[in-house]
């Protein structure tokens, strides 16, 4: 890499994008490192797609600056920045063959024909579509179109590749397969990938780091494990997986502090034995039981109106066993390390 490792691939400096009264993106600061597989995760309307469109150049920040490897690109048109996009609906050109689609960027740059053909072949091989060059996009399946879109973007050796909900239109099996494959392709080409998704599982599976968006702001940036195990806010705790939030008096009784904390349902155990010193122990009544095959979800009331969700794997129990737990008194316990205090 010609860029010093300290220069971030993408840097947002106080970036805002307002549409009239609506603050789609509100004073966002962000750094994406060179060679990273970076996810922008959030519900729809959280500003993640607007951020992606501003990196691509389809939209301009109302204020603030965006840097691509140190160069201020905030006001450059899309065709003057070395960034390429894989669109959610792939946006393949229907009147061109797969080969012509992939070669489009090279054709615009007036690269010699022989060179074009050679690189198109390389790209189609990379995305496992060797021999598809003369087909039309309409003759391809959804997954194949996605690969063409990927090849068409990567052939230009962009500094950063943007992916807008790249797997959204695919069915579950194909999606899981493409998750693995995208990751492998990214490793192979060594380009910084930034992808937008609303699917927390997808973000956790593929990315090196995740930025969680909510209402135009970034709630937390961190590795998947950090995001999951140490959510910084109630929003992150609720959006990434499910979580129990405990606050106020009960929190004080458990931890000695009124600070709100989160505890993941799978970290809580239903026990009968007395816990050791580094474990939290609580009494409760099982209010509801949902048998889900692989695991069972319990709703346990620990105080009037305060319920905790508990998930236990069905390692030894049968559905008859778990369902009979309803209405019974139980002991809950979890390791103190699994308590995560929220920042705000």
Partner 1 sequence: MHSKKAPLGLTIAAFGTLLFLHVPMLIIFLYTLTPDETTYTFPLPGFTTKWFGIALQRADLWRSLILSLKVATIATIIALILGTLAAAAVYRSNFFGRESISFLLVLPIALPGIVTGIALRAAIGGFDIPFSFWTIVIGHATFCIVVVYNNVLARLRRTNPSMIEASMDLGANSFQTFRHVVLPNIATALLAGGMLAFALSFDEVIVTTFTAGQQTTLPIWIFSQLNRPRDRPVTNVVATFVILITFIPIFLAQKISAESSDTEGENK
Stretch of 43-51, 89-97, 172-180, 324-332 lying at the interface with partner 1 (CB under 8 A):
89-97
Alpha-carbon span 250 to 252, nearest angstrom:
5
Among 15, 32, 51, 56, contact with partner 1 (rule: CB under 8 A): 56
How would you class 134 by CB atoms within 10 Å of its CB: exposed for 0-12, middle for 13-18, buried for 19 or more? exposed
Cα 265 from Cα 258, distance rounded (Å): 20
Query: Please, what is the minimum distance in Å from the beta carbon of residue 93 to partner 1?
Result: 6
Residue among 43, 77, 131, 142 that touches partner 1 (CB under 8 A) = 77
Strands of the sheet with 261-263, listed across from one edge:
244-246, 261-263, 340-341
> What string of DSSP letters covers 113-168?
HHHHHHHHHHHHHHTT-TT-TTS-GGGS-HHHHHHHHHHHHHTT--SEEEEESTTT
Least distance (Å) between residue 196 CB and partner 1 = 14
Provide the minimum distance between the beta carbon of 60 and partner 1 in the complex, in angstroms, as a whole number: 14
| Residue 44 binding partner 1, by CB under 8 A | no
Interface with partner 1, residue 166, by CB under 8 A = no
**CB closer to partner 1, 32 vs 56:** 56
105 is a site residue for partner 1 (CB under 8 A): yes
User: Residue 99 belongs to what H/E stretch?
Assistant: helix 98-108
Q: Is 83 a binder of partner 1 (CB under 8 A)?
A: yes
DSSP assignment of 186-251, as one string?
Answer: HHHH--EEEEEES-HHHHHHH-SEEEEEETTEEEEEE-HHHHHHS-SSHHHHHHSS--EEE-HHHH
Site string for partner 1, 175-204 (x = CB under 8 A): ------------------------------
Contact call for residue 142 and partner 1 (CB under 8 A):
no
Query: What is the per-residue binding string for partner 1 in 241-260, x denoting contact by CB under 8 A?
Result: --------------------
Q: Closer to partner 1 at the Cβ: 160 or 246?
A: 160
91 binds partner 1 (CB under 8 A): yes
Is residue 87 a contact residue for partner 1 (CB under 8 A)? yes
Cβ-Cβ contacts under 8 Å for 259 (sequence gap 6 or more): 247, 251, 341, 342
Q: Token pair for residue 63?
A: 């204020």
Residue 10 is a binding residue for partner 1 (CB under 8 A)? no
Q: Nearer to partner 1 by C-beta: 150 or 236?
A: 150
**Cα separation, 148 vs 140, whole angstroms:** 9
Q: How far is CA 300 from the centre of its chain?
A: 30
Total site size for partner 1, rule CB under 8 A: 27
Q: Which is nearer to partner 1, 2 or 138 (CB)?
A: 138
Please give the Cα distance from 161 to 168 (Å, whole number): 17
92 binds partner 1 (CB under 8 A): yes
Is residue 340 close enough to count as binding partner 1 by CB under 8 A?
Answer: no
Exactly one of 137, 166, 224, 241 binds partner 1 (CB under 8 A); which one?
137
- 238 binds partner 1, rule: CB under 8 A: no
End-to-end CA distance of the chain, in Å?
39
Q: How far is the CB of 323 from partner 1 (least distance, A)?
A: 46
Tokens of 291: 């048998």
Single out the segment in contact with partner 1 by CB under 8 A; choices: 73-81, 219-227, 233-241, 285-293: 73-81
Binding residues (CB under 8 A) for partner 1: these are 56-58, 77-79, 83-85, 87-89, 91-95, 104-105, 107-109, 137-138, 152-153, 156
């Amino acid at each position: 890499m010609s860029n010093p490792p300290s220069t971030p691939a993408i840097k947002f400096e106080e970036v805002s994008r307002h549409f009239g009264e609506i603050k789609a993106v509100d004073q966002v600061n962000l750094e994406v490192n060179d060679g990273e597989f970076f996810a922008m995760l959030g519900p729809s309307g959280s500003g993640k797609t607007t951020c992606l469109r501003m990196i691509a150049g389809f939209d301009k920040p109302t204020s603030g600056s965006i840097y691509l490897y140190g160069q201020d690109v905030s006001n450059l048109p899309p065709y003057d920045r070395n960034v390429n996009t894989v669109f959610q609906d792939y946006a393949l050109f229907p009147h061109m063959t797969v080969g012509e689609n992939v070669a489009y960027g090279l054709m615009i740059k007036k690269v010699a024909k022989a060179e074009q053909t050679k690189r198109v072949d390389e790209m189609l091989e990379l995305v496992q579509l060797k021999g598809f060059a003369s087909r039309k996009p309409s003759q391809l399946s959804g997954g194949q179109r996605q690969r063409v879109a990927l090849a068409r973007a990567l052939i230009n050796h962009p500094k950063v590749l943007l992916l807008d909900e790249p797997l959204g239109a695919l069915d579950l099996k194909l999606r899981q397969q493409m998750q693995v494959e995208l990751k492998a392709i990214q490793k192979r080409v060594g380009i910084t990938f930034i992808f937008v998704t609303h699917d927390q599982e997808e973000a956790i599976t593929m990315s090196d780091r995740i930025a969680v968006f909510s209402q135009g702001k970034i709630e937390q940036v961190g590795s998947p494990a950090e995001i999951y195990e140490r959510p910084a806010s109630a929003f992150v705790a609720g959006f990434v997986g499910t979580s129990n939030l405990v606050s106020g008096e009960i929190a004080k009784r458990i931890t000695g502090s009124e600070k709100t904390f989160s505890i993941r349902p799978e970290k809580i155990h239903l026990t009968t034995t007395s816990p050791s010193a580094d474990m939290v122990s609580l009494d409760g009544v099982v209010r509801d039981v949902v048998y889900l095959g692989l695991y069972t979800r319990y709703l346990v009331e620990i105080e009037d109106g305060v319920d905790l969700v508990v998930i236990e794997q069905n390692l030894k129990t049968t559905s008859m066993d778990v369902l009979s737990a309803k209405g019974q008194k139980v002991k809950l316990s979890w390791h103190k390390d699994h308590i995560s205090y929220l920042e705000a």
